[in-house]
A = this chain, B = another copy of it.
Amino acid sequence: MYRPEIKVIDCTVRDGGLMNKWQFSDEFVRNVYHALSKAGVDYMEIGYLSSECMFSRKEVGAWKFCAEKDLQKIIGDSEKKIKLSAMADIGRIEYDDIPMKCDSSLDMIRVACYVHQVDAAIDLAHHCIDKGYEVTINLMAVSTVSQRDLEEALQDLAKSRVPIIYLVDSFGFFYSEHIDVLAKKYMESLPGKTIGIHCHNNQQLGFANTISAIINGINYLDATLYGIGRGAGNCPLELLISFLKNPKFKVRPLIEVIEKEILPWSKKIDWGYFVPYMITGTLNQHPRTAIAQMESDDPDKITDFYDQAISLPT
């Protein structure tokens, strides 16, 4: 029997946009939106919520902002069957630039933060709750955080009004037993709250770790079409939807939109399993050096890259 509490959040445009500065055409975003709706996906994270004064529209596409006029271009006149989400980074959005829920097509705002930013994240999250949104806090890079610091952050989150807290494997370092331990810790530390998971695929464990999370009772699941995303990418949505048993989920619309919109991108930009990403993942390092390697003139010089990666100061 499937678990009706499970919700799937597609991050194709938001996370995939990290690779091309959100320079997706309206047609791309619209086709993804309709495919996700048909597939029964619960949420589409369509981009970031940022203040226009902080980034130039000459450099980044519309989905760095998620302005209402741009959302309207995607939704059009059709009935909205999928909830829309935007991610907010601490310090990149002024509170006054966040519209009231009643004036926005966004349903959910997800606040991403590192452990040392938890107080600021809770403050922003409460602000968004008070404006009428569903809200999550996504605690990033916990694979590099001490047990004490993580426990303190979880205690703070437990006291907050934020109902959904995400476990994020930013560096693609975790394997199933890490997820088992952390899922239990999050559950115990955050009674009454819903837990989510966002995995990266550096060790080809994005989907597997999402399954481990499901087994451990985690209910909010992030994925992207064909795993698109920065670096090694994410849990592939088509695998997750094929795995889940809720009959509302359909994989065919996802295959169709991968064929139409994602495969063409896969010829232009690389994401997925490449040795540099695998190396930073196994070493629990930020993927920035691997991304630079993949964008260099010699992406295949992986032995030199390995030697540099293991000699980095920890």
A176 within 8 A of B: yes
A282 within 8 A of B: yes
Bound complex: CA of A64 vs CA of B43, how far in Å?
Answer: 51
Q: Are B255 and A303 in contact (CB under 8 A)?
A: yes
Interface string of A206-235 (1 = CB under 8 A from B): 111101100100000000001100000000
List CB contacts (< 8 Å) of A114-152 with chain B. none
A258 within 8 A of B: yes
Q: Are B279 and A255 in contact (CB under 8 A)?
A: yes
> Looking at the complex, which one of B258, B259, B282 makes contact with A239 (CB distance below 8 Å)?
B282
Interface string of A188-203 (1 = CB under 8 A from B): 0000000000000101
> Looking at the complex, which one of B175, B209, B263, B301 makes contact with A243 (CB distance below 8 Å)?
B175
A285 within 8 A of B: no
CB distance from A13 to the nearest CB of B (A): 20
A interface, size bucket: 35 or more
List CB contacts (< 8 Å) of A160-212 with chain B. 175-177, 201, 203-209, 211-212
User: Interface residues of A: mostly helix, strand, loop or mixed?
Assistant: helix
CB distance from A55 to the nearest CB of B (A): 33
CB distance from A245 to the nearest CB of B (A): 12
Q: Which residues of B contact A265 (CB under 8 A)?
A: none
Minimal Cβ-Cβ distance residue in B for A310: B252
Given A282-B239, A300-B263, A306-B252, are A176 and B176 neighbors across the interface (CB < 8 Å)? yes
Q: Are A208 and B176 in contact (CB under 8 A)?
A: yes
Q: Are B215 and A208 in contact (CB under 8 A)?
A: no
Q: Which residues of B contact A279 (CB under 8 A)?
A: 255
Q: Are A255 and B275 in contact (CB under 8 A)?
A: yes
Minimal Cβ-Cβ distance residue in B for A226: B275
Q: Which residues of B contact A175 (CB under 8 A)?
A: 208, 211, 243
Interface string of A226-265 (1 = CB under 8 A from B): 1100000000101100110000000110011011000100
